[in-house]
Amino acid sequence: MKLNINGQIIDKHAVWWDEEINKVKLIDQTKIPFVVEILTCNTYRDTADAIKNMNIRGAPAIGAAAAYGFVQAIWEFWGDKDYESKLKYAYKTLLAARPTAIDLKNGLDYIQSFFPIDPENALKKAKRLADEIAAEGKKIGQIGKELIHDEMNILTHCHTGALALVDFGSAIAPIIAAWEDGKQFHVYVDETRPRIQGRMTAWELYQYKINHTVICDSVSGYLMSKGKIDMVILGADRVVQNGDIANKIGTYNIAVLAKHHQVPFYTAFPKSTYDPRTKSGKDIKIETRSNEEITHVIGYSSEEKRLTRIELYGSGSKFYNPAFDVTPADLITGYITPYGILTSSQELKTFFQPRTE
Amino acid sequence: MKLNINGQIIDKHAVWWDEEINKVKLIDQTKIPFVVEILTCNTYRDTADAIKNMNIRGAPAIGAAAAYGFVQAIWEFWGDKDYESKLKYAYKTLLAARPTAIDLKNGLDYIQSFFPIDPENALKKAKRLADEIAAEGKKIGQIGKELIHDEMNILTHCHTGALALVDFGSAIAPIIAAWEDGKQFHVYVDETRPRIQGRMTAWELYQYKINHTVICDSVSGYLMSKGKIDMVILGADRVVQNGDIANKIGTYNIAVLAKHHQVPFYTAFPKSTYDPRTKSGKDIKIETRSNEEITHVIGYSSEEKRLTRIELYGSGSKFYNPAFDVTPADLITGYITPYGILTSSQELKTFFQPRTE
C-alpha cells in the first residue's frame, strides 16, 4: 500500500526486510491514525516484541512478521555451535508473542519446513510468503467484491486492511475492490474496543475516500433492527476444521445479531489463517490481554499537542479482556477466500492444502 | 447515598434543593470516578444545561432534576407579568434538554399538574417527587433481590446506581440489597461506550465492595456462550404501553444475545419511567448525540496529573451516535418495579397509574 510518511510516498507491505541494513521494518500500527511511522526491529526479539505489543497486528501480517523474525534468528545464530537450541528458543519466543492467530505458527513452520536452510535462502522464503499473502489479499478482493452492490450498507469489525494482511487486506479487500469498480455503498465501522482498531479501518477507508461511518460496538443490533445493515464482512484470526472461527472479540455478538436479523455474515481470510489441525472452535485457546488495554487509552491531546495516554477508570475494579471470541460455523453465511466464496467445512478442507515447496 | 467529598461524608440524593441559598445542587456525574464534586445550578437554565451535558444523568434522576429546575423557574418568575409565557418557555427548555427519558416530561408534568402553585408549595412537591423516587429505588431493591442467588454471575449495562435514580438505584438496587443480605455473587459491568458509564457503576459497586469485573461491550456474548452469565439486570429510560423499552444503546444487543443463550433478562425502573401514552417502542424518538462523545474521551493523565481530554480518531470519518435503542417486550423476562416483578404489558398498565395528588 502507498503511504505518505512526512511527505514522502512509499509503497510498502505492512512488514518487510530492509536489504541495506538487514533488519525487519514495519509500519507502527499503534500510532495510526495520528502518526505514520516505521519501526525497525534489530533482532528477532524486537520483532517478537513488536508482535506482542501490537506494533504489527492482524493475523496474516503477524504470520509474515513471524517468518521474518525467524529469519533474523537464523541470520543471527548461523554458524553458532548452539545453533539448533538457540533457534528452538527463538521459535518459542516468537510463537509466544500472540497465542490466538494460527498465522503466526504457520509462518514459523513454513520457514522451519525448509530446515536446514542458510540465511539467504530462508530470507527468500520469508519474502515469498509475504508476497503470497499479499497476492491472496488481492484475490480475496476480486472474489469478494461480487457480493457488494450499489446502495448496500456493510458492517465491519476490527481492522482487516492492508496493514493487517501484509497488503490489500482481508475483509477490507472486497470493499476496496468494489469501490474501485465504481460501486456506491456505505460501510459502518465498529469502534472495536478496547484497542479501537476501528480508527485504523476508518483511516484506511479514508485513504480511498470510501463512504463510511464509525459506530460504537453496541450499535450494531440497533442498526440491524432498523434494516440498515445488508451484510457483515469481517476477518478471522483462526479458521478450524469444522468451520468455526476465532476473531476479534465482538465478532460473536455480531454473528448472533446477524442471524437474528437474517443479515448475511461473511468472514474473509487468506491461506495462513486456516488451521486444519484444530477440530472445533472449542479447542481454540483465547488470548486474555492486559487490563491496561481497557483502563488506558492513547489519543491526541490538542491542549498538549501530542499523543497522550489517559486512564479511564477509578480504582477498586477487576477487568477482563479476552482479545478474541469464537463464532460457530452455523452462524457463518460464507468464507471469502482466495479460492472462492466457500460455504462449508468440507469445502474449506478441500481448498486449503498445507503450504509446501 | 453517602459520599466522601474531600474527606467530608455527606448523605445526599443525586440532586437536591439547597435551602440556604435556594439553588439546585447535584453531584457532578461527568467527573466520577476521578473527582466527586457538587455542581450548583443558579437558574433553571443551569439545571437544563446540567441535564443536557449529563452532569446529571439516569432517567429518574433527570426527572427529579427537571422538577427542581421547573420550581426554580416558578421561583424566578413568580409575580412577573409574563409569568405564564415565561414558565411555558422554561418548560420547553427543560423538556428539550434530553428527548428520550420520559421521566423528564413526567417530572415537569407532575409540577404542572398543581398549577397554579406558589414557589414554596411547588418546592414541596418537587421534594416529595424526589423522595418518592428514592423510596421506589429502595423498594425495587427489596423486590429484585429475590432473583439473586449465591454464586450467580449478573451482567449489567450503563449506570443505574444511586446517582442515576436520586438514591438507591434501579438495576443496581437489587444487587446492593442482595449483597447487604450476605449473598455472594459477581457482577459483570459493561463499559458502555461512548460515555463509559460503566466506570460509574464500577465506582458505586466498589463503594459497597461488591465483587465485580468491568468488560468491554463486545464481551457479553462470549461470556454467555461460556455459560458465565446467569442473569441480565439493567435499567430503562422509557417503558411503553406494549412493554417495549428504550434504554442505553447496547441494551438491544444484550437482549438478543440473552434470548439466544436463554439467559433471563430483567429491566428495573421506577414509576416515572413508565409512559402509558406511547403505544410501542417504534414510536419512541431516539436521541442522537454529538460525535464528540465517540471521538473524544476524558480521563486522568498521570503525566499531567489532571483530567485530560483526548481525541481518539483521525480526520475524514463520519460518526453516528444514537444514545439509546429499543428492546421489544418479547425479549424481556421481567420488569422489576416497586410493585413487584411484572411480566406483561397488562400488568404494567394495571400497576402503573399516573402520579396524582
| DSSP codes of every residue in A326-353 | EE-GGG-SEEEETTEEE-SHHHHHHH-P
Rounded percentage of chain A residues whose pLDDT exceeds 70: 99
The pLDDT confidence band at residue A356, using thresholds 50, 70 and 90, is low
Write out pLDDT tens, residues B98-119.
Answer: 988 789 999 999 999 999 999 9
- d(CA B62, CA A222) in angstroms, rounded, equals 24
Q: Which architecture, in CATH terms, is A147-351?
A: 3-Layer(aba) Sandwich (3.40)
The pLDDT confidence band at residue B357, using thresholds 50, 70 and 90, is very low
- d(CA A296, CA A38) in angstroms, rounded, equals 24
Q: Which of A101-110, A178-187, A256-265 has the lowest mean pLDDT?
A: A101-110
The pLDDT confidence band at residue A316, using thresholds 50, 70 and 90, is very high
B302 and A194 Cβ atoms separated by less than 8 Å: no
Question: Is the CB of B219 less than 8 angstroms away from the CB of A297?
Answer: no
- Nine cell digits for residue B153: 454471575
Residue A3 has pLDDT above 80, yes or no: no
The partner residue sitting opposite B325, judged by closest CB among A221, A256, A259, is A221
Q: 3-state DSSP call for residue B269?
A: coil
**Residue pointed to by grid coordinates 505489543:** A53
CATH 3.40.50.10470 location in chain A:
147-351
Nearest CA in chain A to B36: A314
Query: What class is the B2-137 domain?
Result: mainly alpha
Q: What is the pLDDT of residue B356?
A: 54
Q: What is the pLDDT of residue A355?
A: 53
* Residue A310, φ and ψ in degrees, nearest 5: -125, 160
Q: Which of A68-82, B77-91, B142-156, B341-355 has the lowest mean pLDDT?
A: B341-355
Mean model confidence pLDDT for chain A: 95
Residue B4 has pLDDT above 90, yes or no: no
The pLDDT confidence band at residue A242, using thresholds 50, 70 and 90, is very high
Write out pLDDT tens, residues B159-189.
Answer: 999 999 999 999 999 999 999 999 999 999 9
User: Once rounded to an integer, what is the mean pLDDT over residues A260-276?
Assistant: 94
Residue B74 has pLDDT above 90, yes or no: yes
Q: What is the pLDDT of residue A357?
A: 46
User: Once rounded to an integer, what is the mean pLDDT over residues B207-226?
Assistant: 97
User: Once rounded to an integer, what is the mean pLDDT over residues B67-78?
Assistant: 97
Q: Whole-prediction pTM value?
A: 0.92
Residue A8 has pLDDT above 90, yes or no: no
**Residue pointed to by grid coordinates 448523605:** B11
- d(CA B104, CA B63) in angstroms, rounded, equals 4
User: Once rounded to an integer, what is the mean pLDDT over residues A209-228?
Assistant: 98
List helix spans (H) across chain B.
44-52, 59-77, 83-95, 102-112, 119-144, 172-180, 198-207, 220-225, 251-260, 292-295, 345-351
A237 catalytic, yes or no? yes
Q: What is the pLDDT of residue A234?
A: 98
Residues of B designated as active site: 237
Question: Is the CB of B317 less than 8 angstroms away from the CB of A206?
Answer: yes
What residues of chain B lie within 8 A of the CB of A199, using their CB?
312-314
What residues of chain A lie within 8 A of the CB of B35, using their CB?
none
Write out pLDDT tens, residues B273-308.
Answer: 899 999 999 999 999 999 999 999 999 999 989 999
ipTM metric? 0.91
Q: In this structure, which amino acid lies at residue B224? A: M
Question: Is the CB of B301 less than 8 angstroms away from the CB of A322?
Answer: no
Q: What is the pLDDT of residue B355?
A: 53
- Nine cell digits for residue B230: 446467569
Q: What is the pLDDT of residue B2?
A: 78
Long-range interactions of B22-26: CB distance < 8 A, separation 24+: B22/B75, B23/B72, B24/B65, B24/B68, B24/B69, B24/B72, B26/B50, B26/B55, B26/B56, B26/B65
Residue A55 has pLDDT above 90, yes or no: yes
- Beta-carbon contacts of A154 under 8 Å, excluding residues fewer than 6 positions away, are A148, A175, A185, A186, A187, A188, A229, A230, A231, A232, A233
Mean model confidence pLDDT for chain B: 95
The pLDDT confidence band at residue A331, using thresholds 50, 70 and 90, is very high
Nearest CA in chain B to A296: B299
- Three-state helix/strand/coil letters over A172-227: HHHHHHHHHCCCCCEEEEECCCCCCCHHHHHHHHHHCCCCEEEECHHHHHHHHHCC
The partner residue sitting opposite B300, judged by closest CB among A252, A302, A310, is A310
Residue B148 has pLDDT above 60, yes or no: yes
Catalytic residue among A28, A103, A237, A244: A237
| End-to-end C-alpha distance for chain B, whole angstroms | 27
Residue B63 has pLDDT above 80, yes or no: yes
CATH 1.20.120.420 location in chain A:
2-137
User: Once rounded to an integer, what is the mean pLDDT over residues A314-318?
Assistant: 94
Residue B354 has pLDDT above 70, yes or no: no
User: Once rounded to an integer, what is the mean pLDDT over residues B51-75?
Assistant: 96
